Amino acid sequence: MIVTVGNTKGGVGKTTLAVQIALARALAGRDVWLIDGDRQGTSQTAVAIRAEADRKPGMACSQYPDGPVLRAQVQQQGRKFDDIIIDAGGRDSTALRAALVLSDVLLVPFQPRSVDVWALADIASLVEEARSVRDGLEAYAILNCADPGTASADNADAAAALADHPQLTHLDAPIRRRKAFANAVGQGLSVEEYHPRDSKACDELATLMKMVFTR
């Protein structure tokens, strides 16, 4: 399966989410290729830190911020892997557009803030364009760095705003604002490997993985 974690809005936590998803699949025994489509190369840095620490399992990671190169490499090498996770976006880039055409699933992380909700119109438009080229793209919006607790009005209002963007389906598997996610990625780890263990963070990631990969 090819899954892109992307948004035209920066600062939504897409890299942390992409790395966590890729590591969760690798820990489940899948052969995973993580593609960093961002020129900052943060995903690639996290995997490099993991490799330097000799953590197992290892994971393939490549950086392709150029859309035509990303597309060509996935078409040429994609069959070697069970899953491909693409970290793309932060802006409307050629890498994000190429990833949308290649992917089976798009996850659009957004935070419960007005500026993030307003920006969903841009990625929704790109989804519509991608679907005009390739059928079958499933696009889900997921609250990331959501407010703690289950009764947050901001979380509920942000999720409700998705009704204005029918191109995106709300995936009810919020990832809340927890230090464990950022700290784990900073060490090249999954939250399942990170100590002290945050059981709530692990449960949230497990729920997301189940919803995305057991459809």
Task: Tell me: pLDDT of 186 over 70.
Answer: yes
The pLDDT value recorded for residue 160 is: 82
The pLDDT value recorded for residue 215 is: 65
Residues 6+ apart with CB under 8 A from 70: 35, 37, 64, 86, 88, 94, 95, 98, 99, 102
Work out the burial of residue 188: count CB atoms within 10 Å of its CB; fewer than 13 is exposed, 13-18 middle, 19 or more buried.
Answer: buried
Task: Tell me: pLDDT of 37 over 70.
Answer: yes
Task: Tell me: pLDDT of 151 over 60.
Answer: no
The pLDDT mean for the chain works out to 92
Task: State which CATH number among 3.40.190.10, 2.40.30.10, 3.30.390.50, 3.40.50.300 fits the domain covering 2-213.
Answer: 3.40.50.300
Task: Tell me: pLDDT of 158 over 90.
Answer: no
What is the enclosing helix (H) or strand (E) of 26?
Answer: helix 14-27
Q: Where are the domains of the chain?
A: 2-213
Q: By three-state DSSP, how is residue 66 classified?
A: coil
Residue with tokens 């490099």: 48
The pLDDT value recorded for residue 31 is: 97
The pLDDT value recorded for residue 146 is: 80
**Residue-wise pLDDT tens digits, 102-139:** 999 999 999 877 778 888 999 999 999 999 988 889 99
Residues 6+ apart with CB under 8 A from 97: 67, 126, 129, 130
